[in-house]
Chain A
Amino acid sequence: MDNRKSFAAILIVLAALALLPFGVSGYILGLLTLGFYTAVFAMSWDLLFGFAGEVNFGPSFLIGTGAYTAGLLNHYAIWPIWACTMAGAGAAVIGGLLLAVPALRLRGPYFGLVTLVAVLLLQNMIVLFAGTTGGEIGLDLPDVLAVDDSNNYWIALAFMGISGLLLFGLSRSAVGLILQASGQDAVQAGALGFNVTKHKLAAFCVSALFSGLAGAMLIFYEGTASVGTVVDIGVGVQVIIAAVLGGRRTILGAALGAVFLIGAGEMLRPLGELSTFVVSAVALVVILFVPGGFLGAVLHGERR
């Protein structure tokens, strides 16, 4: 009953967003486009943290693996965009599995640390092989998704809408319930007959799939792949802040948080260096005083 209402609300919001290009400037559309891709990053991350209970400090490892696989294939092999993004998503899943299979055996903070180190490794690899990857300058791509702002916006919106519905649906499904149990109390979930490692690994794969896909789409929107936009630790931190800000264990909150974070960062741009500081401070205050995030606060308030 609850689920049906939520789905209806999501569809209405998506429909309203789809009408935006008829009313607002290309500048705002560009901003939202970036926000929508970040939203997919954050939602994928929330599936892992909010449901499987694993803190992935390196979402940009998955994003970057997807983006650079797609980018290199496009730059050198001139594969079409759709094939590149598919390959990118696949690479993110494989890279994620290589990382997660050994890392999930570790307990406590070690999983998170392993994911953090993975980002540094990826970043170093890209810089080390700068001749091929473009290094810190970036890799320019022969193809772009669309030239027109509105088209880019619609593609991003559709992509976010579909990803969001799938991730949200998954989180509310029977599998999501098992995943949540595994994350909150692995011992008990095991005693109930659930293979905790299997479910967490599956969640990691799904998270990697959407992160890689979104990373690949993002570079084809921007026309260039660079460490600063898809690999840097800072990118990962922003994804994490967006998800926590929007509301842990809600999936949709993560999308809200991401759009807010991108929007706020841009609006405060006149402040120069100070803008990052202000956004971070807001994030800190929300995490300290409303740990449930925006959506968490709203949902919790309703229940009372």
Chain B
Amino acid sequence: MGDLLEVSGLTKRFGGLVAVRDMKLSIGAGEILGLIGPNGSGKSTVMKLIMGIEKPNAGSVRIEGVEVAGWPSHRVARQGVGIVFQHSRPLHRQTVLENIKLALLPDSLVRLFAAGHINDRAREIAARVHLDHVINRLPGTLPFADLRRLELARAIARNPKVVLVDEPFAGLTAPEVADFSKLIASFREEGHAVLLVDHNVRGVAALVDRALAMYLGEHVAEGTADEVMRNETVRQVYLGGALVHTEHRADAGQSRDELLRVDNVSVLYGKAQALEDVSLRVGAGEFVSVVGLNGAGKTTLFNAISGLVPSSGEIGFAGQGLAGMTPAQIARAGIVQCPESRELFGEMSVRENLDLGGHHLPQAEAAERLAWLLELFPILATRAGQAARTLSGGEQQMLTIARALMMKPRLLILDEPTLGLAPVILEQLSKALETLRHTTDITVLLGEQNVTFALPHADRVYVLEHGRFIWEGPADRFAAEAGAQFL
């Protein structure tokens, strides 16, 4: 075949975890392929394997027929592959022009002075991505979208045959998205092969010629964007087929005492608005889910509540303002967060991780709580002596939750507990949450992009998109009113 990029049998293991399994894809000249999958599905790993940033355990990556699997990334780059990273990390002491020139320099130790034509070429590239008006400014003074343009400029400077783009539209406004789409489409006209990596089909449907869906490291579906969106497995992954919800407790609703109050909270990361004027209520004993795609701002919201990122607006817990409290004080006040990244102590045993969680409890109470938790998560009892990092992803997630529960939280925040977990583990996790809900008076705030998992465990649901709530209501109205957002 005459395809520019051909990948087959690509496999990558991290320890016991298979991040990518037997992946296959190909892109021809003048074609844009969208690689789609939820967070943790392995799509970024595929991109890194192609670029040579990670080394594959098995499989083949061919650029115009040349086998490059396992090559270091600078050689892959010279073979004609460029990558646009999601986060731009320019040299901050150099101007925009110098940053672009860097990408054009030969990989030589002796050519001390850049050839004259490099200057002209850098200006051409700047003009192409519309950076010509800021060419002598330092990156630190540029708005977010211009930093992304600079990233794009550096990636295309060497005129790569294959361009890999990681989440091209994250954090951009609608007009900027349109502008970037045009730039990416222009690669197609020039005969480049483009691989777009993104979370959902919807965002890139208009731009891609074909889409390929991944889940849990495997190829799930491939075809036109429409075909992929209609694919049964893809619907299952994103929506879980038919949406179901369990019965609510009789006292659901406004009658509860308010435990958490978030009023008009906004968060800025440098120049990117991560959260905009968000307000939320959680009653004592209530289970509330915040659903939203990756990058919508769920983690930022939780970090703002836990005091991990500075925010404007007001956050109150059990009638007390949290402003000015350190993350540790907030945790001791009863808000415990299980972060997406789990943050277990990998070298410590399961038991030691749990003991650390219950460190502040009197001994007898800690023992009692430990016994209760091991009953809730029986698998942890059989793994008690094992180092936490040797657990499977699902077991690690259970340990994270159990450790948080050892701290006797009043409000438990779960950030994407289902990230990268297999369906069978989801079921176990689901059961544990149901038990918690029926047997304790704990309050839970759950952040999820997996709607199927989030809905059964929610009295109320908030939908977060681009840093703002666009819908809120009881779980049973979600499917009818907001379900369409999730493909």
A residues touching B (Cβ–Cβ < 8 Å)?
169-170, 173-175, 177-178, 180-181, 184-185, 187-196, 198-199, 202, 249, 303
User: Given the complex of chains A and B, what is the CA–CA distance between A298 and B113 in angstroms?
Assistant: 27
User: Given the complex of chains A and B, what is the CA–CA distance between A184 and B94 in angstroms?
Assistant: 13
Interface presence of B121 (CB below 8 A):
no
Given contacts A177-B105, A178-B107, A184-B91, A191 and B82 within 8 Å (CB-CB): yes
Closest approach, in angstroms, between the C-beta of A71 and any C-beta of chain B?
31
Which of chain B's residues have a CB closer than 8 A to the CB of A188? Answer: 85, 89
| Number of A-B residue pairs with CB-CB distance less than 8 Å in the complex they form | 76
Contact B91 A175 (CB under 8 A): no
Contact A177 B74 (CB under 8 A): no
Contact A196 B105 (CB under 8 A): no
Contact B113 A192 (CB under 8 A): no
Which of chain B's residues have a CB closer than 8 A to the CB of A193? Answer: 74, 77-78, 107, 158
Interface presence of B52 (CB below 8 A):
yes
Given contacts A190-B53, A191-B51, A198-B109, A174 and B114 within 8 Å (CB-CB): yes
Chain A proximity mask over B93-105: 1 for CB below 8 Å, otherwise 0: 1100010011101
User: Given the complex of chains A and B, what is the CA–CA distance between A190 and B74 in angstroms?
Assistant: 5
Contact A175 B93 (CB under 8 A): no
Closest approach, in angstroms, between the C-beta of A186 and any C-beta of chain B?
9
Chain A proximity mask over B46-81: 1 for CB below 8 Å, otherwise 0: 000001110000000000000000001110011000
Contact B109 A175 (CB under 8 A): yes
User: Given the complex of chains A and B, what is the CA–CA distance between A188 and B93 in angstroms?
Assistant: 17
Given contacts A187-B53, A190-B53, A175 and B111 within 8 Å (CB-CB): yes
| Most chain A beta-carbon neighbours within 10 Å: one of B73, B78, B82, B94 | B73
Contact A173 B77 (CB under 8 A): no
Closest approach, in angstroms, between the C-beta of A173 and any C-beta of chain B?
4
User: Given the complex of chains A and B, what is the CA–CA distance between A192 and B83 in angstroms?
Assistant: 8
Q: Which residue of A174, A180, A190, A198 is within 8 Å of B113 (Cβ)?
A: A174
Contact A191 B98 (CB under 8 A): no
Interface presence of B161 (CB below 8 A):
no
Which of chain A's residues have a CB closer than 8 A to the CB of B155? Answer: 191
For residue A176, which residue of chain B has the nearest CB? B112
User: Given the complex of chains A and B, what is the CA–CA distance between A24 and B114 in angstroms?
Assistant: 44
For residue A199, which residue of chain B has the nearest CB? B109
Contact A180 B91 (CB under 8 A): yes
For residue B154, which residue of chain A has the nearest CB? A192
Given contacts A190-B52, A249-B93, A178 and B74 within 8 Å (CB-CB): no
9 A-B pairs with the lowest CB-CB distances in the bound complex, closest first:
A193-B77, A190-B73, A173-B112, A174-B114, A195-B74, A191-B83, A190-B74, A185-B89, A193-B78
Which of chain A's residues have a CB closer than 8 A to the CB of B52? Answer: 190
For residue B140, which residue of chain A has the nearest CB? A303
For residue B101, which residue of chain A has the nearest CB? A177
Which of chain A's residues have a CB closer than 8 A to the CB of B109? Answer: 175, 198-199, 202
Contact B94 A177 (CB under 8 A): yes
What are 29 A-B contacts with C-beta separation under 8 Å? A173-B113, A174-B114, A175-B108, A177-B91, A177-B94, A178-B105, A178-B107, A180-B91, A187-B73, A189-B74, A190-B52, A190-B74, A190-B77, A191-B51, A191-B73, A191-B155, A192-B74, A192-B157, A192-B158, A193-B74, A193-B77, A193-B78, A193-B158, A194-B74, A195-B74, A198-B107, A198-B109, A202-B109, A249-B93
| Most chain B beta-carbon neighbours within 10 Å: one of A184, A192, A202 | A192
Which of chain A's residues have a CB closer than 8 A to the CB of B78? Answer: 193
Which of chain B's residues have a CB closer than 8 A to the CB of A189? Answer: 74
Given contacts A181-B102, A190-B52, A175 and B112 within 8 Å (CB-CB): yes
Which of chain B's residues have a CB closer than 8 A to the CB of A169? Answer: 112
For residue A197, which residue of chain B has the nearest CB? B72
User: Given the complex of chains A and B, what is the CA–CA distance between A175 and B102 in angstroms?
Assistant: 9
Given contacts A174-B114, A187-B53, A199-B109, A192 and B102 within 8 Å (CB-CB): yes
